[in-house]
Amino acid sequence: MTNPEPISIWQPGVVDGRAVFQRPGLHPFGDHYADRLQLNPKRPGDPARICFFGESAAAGYLLARHVTPAKALQAHLRHLLPEDTPDVIDLARTNERLASLVETVKRSFQLSPDLLIIYAGNNWNLLETPELSPYFPSERGKQQMAEALLAGGLDALAELALRERLARAWRALAEIAEVARANSTPVVLVVPEVNLADWETLQPAPWLPGDGLERWYALLEDAKRSLHGGHYAAASGAALAMLDLDDGVSPTPYRLLAQARAGQGDWPAARAAAEAEVVSGHYPTMCFLGAPQASSAEQRLLRHAAQIFGFAIVDLPRLFAGDGADALPGRRLFMDYCHLTVEGVHQAAAGMAAAALEALRHGTTPDVAALIRDLPRPVISPEHLAVAELGAAIHTAHRLADFLRKDELVRHWLERALDTSSGIAQTFLEVVAARSVDLPALFTAAQQSNLASPYTLQLQHGWRYDHIDACLVQAIIDVLARRDPELAKRATQSLLERAPSSADLVEQRTLWEPLMQAYPDLLPARDRHGCAFLRAAWPRVSFAWIASGETDLTLDITARLPQRVQGRAEVFVNG
């Protein structure tokens, strides 16, 4: 091989006189790449080779390095073709973007793949059009936004963002098709599915004329009360009235409508509303940071690309729907917004195995439903699965805005982790201890203790976040109180022992819901001035302050309201 080039993080080198590609050593906190240390160019007599690409869902995320779609696919193929098992090379990575995906695909041909499998689409909304944002300094991007707003308001802006990201995705897929065709290599596209049952997209309403904004928020509270009371027709009516006010720009009414339709047992309408919720979460119109999810627009584009370019397809929305176990895909298949559970990985890998057998011409294509039923599930130790489930609770606490069911979902994953392996309760205490000090979690004694335990949390499980995590900490204490009151008492003492005597509530660390603020305020202040005040993007803002409850509490509050606005501000403590 002459002039070899790196393949993602795998660097060219020579071992025993043979050209190879080697990755840097495995990071103790995870590094978002597959754990295969060395990639060898193909030699005559080697088995067929499958190169696998994609984003964090393809990389396994919370389950990595123990269960990933690529490892599950390898195991399924070993079971189906024990004498001639293809070699699956995992080149998926977290935060993959279209440009780097195309580059990695091109360079993977140094490994002489017989098949390419690409599982991507969740990241496109958040990562592919950063210049189309009011928050970041792209002059041309802001000009495009202004032109769209003048031409057709927020609808035109949303359409601009959708059109641009789909065009970029199409160009990337066309480039992949060209290089695959030049090398006579078949391609399988995996169409992503997302968590429509549990994951909620909460965004404030945009500016509305007259008393529109006040009415929108009043309807929001009406809808929430109706849902909690089981009055689904009333909730549906309130959600539809919100959509009339905001013209469907905010995803929030669609989530309310999806829950109302589900409560009425109208599952097709619930799915349509949940899909509309995902579609309406456009990057340029976001206030709060959203979650990476492929919308029905990305799904349609991938299906169309497969048809035009002659790619095979594994359609996860249709595959998961065919399972019949869930009216809407939810926590049985997903650990959060798009990352798969062990069962989800198993089913997706079964679909990919069927597509691989057909693409590599190994006889008749097997029935995917039969493969899902008959193939062994991926194997993972109780300790590692419990870590992933705790990671799901932490990730949910960090990335899901408090709307309808956040607390219930966080507690669900905490309970699951304890059911899977009760020893993870000690890790619960380490998480609380790490959050109780005003230091990055990686610098705490609790994190060092966890690193030496069988329940080691990695960066994707939540160590990178440094706020108090009040929602998570409260859920941990509540769950432990039901299981082991003594452990709950220790967690509470850990908080009180380190409680500071004062705090500036403007600091992100003290926000009960750090996600519920303007997206740029979440970003590091390297390229902008720090904010000396909190921009409230929601009518109610909650703070987390650790105190014993046995001493006086003094609050010094300065509030700035728009001119000529009169009203009342209320302060609730433990309310």
| 435 in any annotated domain | yes
| 419 in any annotated domain | yes
Domain end among 340, 358, 374: 374
In the chain, how many domains are there?
3
340 and 391 inside one domain: no
311 and 445 inside one domain: no
Q: For residue 39, give the 3-state DSSP assignment.
A: strand
pLDDT tens for the 575 residues of the chain, in order: 678 999 999 999 999 989 999 999 998 888 889 999 999 999 999 999 999 999 999 999 999 999 999 999 999 999 999 999 999 999 999 999 999 999 999 999 999 999 999 999 999 998 998 888 777 667 888 888 889 889 998 889 889 889 999 999 999 999 999 999 999 999 999 999 999 999 999 999 988 999 999 999 999 999 999 999 999 999 999 999 999 999 999 999 999 999 999 999 999 999 999 999 999 988 888 888 889 999 999 999 999 999 999 999 999 999 999 877 778 999 999 999 999 999 999 999 999 999 999 999 876 778 999 999 999 999 999 999 999 999 999 999 999 988 898 999 999 999 999 999 999 999 999 999 998 888 888 888 998 999 999 999 998 888 777 788 899 999 999 999 999 999 999 999 998 888 888 888 878 788 888 888 877 777 665 555 556 778 788 888 888 888 888 888 888 888 776 665 666 778 888 76
Rounded to an integer, what distance in angstroms lies between the CA atom of residue 14 and that of residue 31? 24
107 and 183 inside one domain: yes
pLDDT computed for residue 547 by the predictor = 83
| 367 in any annotated domain | yes
pLDDT computed for residue 117 by the predictor = 99
70 and 183 inside one domain: yes
DSSP class of residue 7? B
Per-residue b or e along 28-58, where b marks 16 or more CB atoms closer than 10 Å to that residue's CB? ebbbbbbebeebebbeeeeebbbbbbbbbbb
- Distance of alpha carbon 515 from the chain centroid: 14
pLDDT computed for residue 501 by the predictor = 80
pLDDT computed for residue 463 by the predictor = 78
**Torsions phi, psi for 432 (to 5 deg):** -60, -45
Domain end among 280, 300, 320: 280
| 397 in any annotated domain | yes
The answer to whether the beta carbons of residues 251 and 278 sit under 8 Å apart is: yes
362 and 390 inside one domain: no
Which tokens belong to 475? 């859920």
| 33 in any annotated domain | no
| 23 in any annotated domain | no
pLDDT computed for residue 285 by the predictor = 85
The answer to whether the beta carbons of residues 182 and 318 sit under 8 Å apart is: no
Which tokens belong to 318? 């249709």
Burial class (CB in 10 A: 0-12, 13-18, 19+), 430: buried
Rounded to an integer, what distance in angstroms lies between the CA atom of residue 280 and that of residue 274? 10
CA-wise closest residue to 472 among 392, 403, 383: 392
184 and 60 inside one domain: yes
111 and 188 inside one domain: yes
Domain end among 350, 374, 398: 374
Provide the edge-to-edge strand list for the sheet that holds 115-119.
87-90, 49-54, 115-119, 187-191, 312-315
| 83 in any annotated domain | yes
276 and 317 inside one domain: no
| 557 in any annotated domain | no
406 and 469 inside one domain: yes
- Range of the structural domain that residue 70 is part of: 43-128+165-196+292-374
pLDDT computed for residue 132 by the predictor = 81
pLDDT computed for residue 475 by the predictor = 97
Rounded to an integer, what distance in angstroms lies between the CA atom of residue 293 and that of residue 537? 23
Question: Which CATH number is 348's domain given?
Answer: 3.40.50.1110
369 and 386 inside one domain: no
362 and 420 inside one domain: no
232 and 335 inside one domain: no
